[in-house]
Structure 1
């Protein structure tokens, strides 16, 4: 956990988060942060280890606007474990 908190830049931070998630049995990780309410989903800070092909398809089809996981995360503070 300290490697997550002490990471010197976002790539090292996400590597540490991914390793932590992997140790808990999660193979895929996506983190998205909207720094302020009302911000467009397209402007979110996103880090993920999902494949580029999946991310491109997701983006091309605007799936964030009807994805129930996005709705959950936008309306609750509890994590979503899939």
Structure 2
């Protein structure tokens, strides 16, 4: 489901949905989705598409996209500090 969203949205040579005839490949393994590209591919563009996916599925308020290495992103839950909540109740 997630990788299908990326397949439909990733643009290669200005066209979405064709992945450039095999130039860009998307693979899924358990909780990871790998996007491999034989042409220059912006990591920032992948972050943009991921945020768009989260917004479409109403997950944007709970998850954020974080760069965990130079070549990858991961989704993390927003940290909610309970200390702040306790102070507000006083």
Tell me the TM-score normalized by structure 1: 0.32
User: By percentage of residues, which structure has more helix?
Assistant: 1
**Structure of greater Rg:** 2
TM-score after normalising by structure 2: 0.30
Which has the larger share of strand? Answer: 2
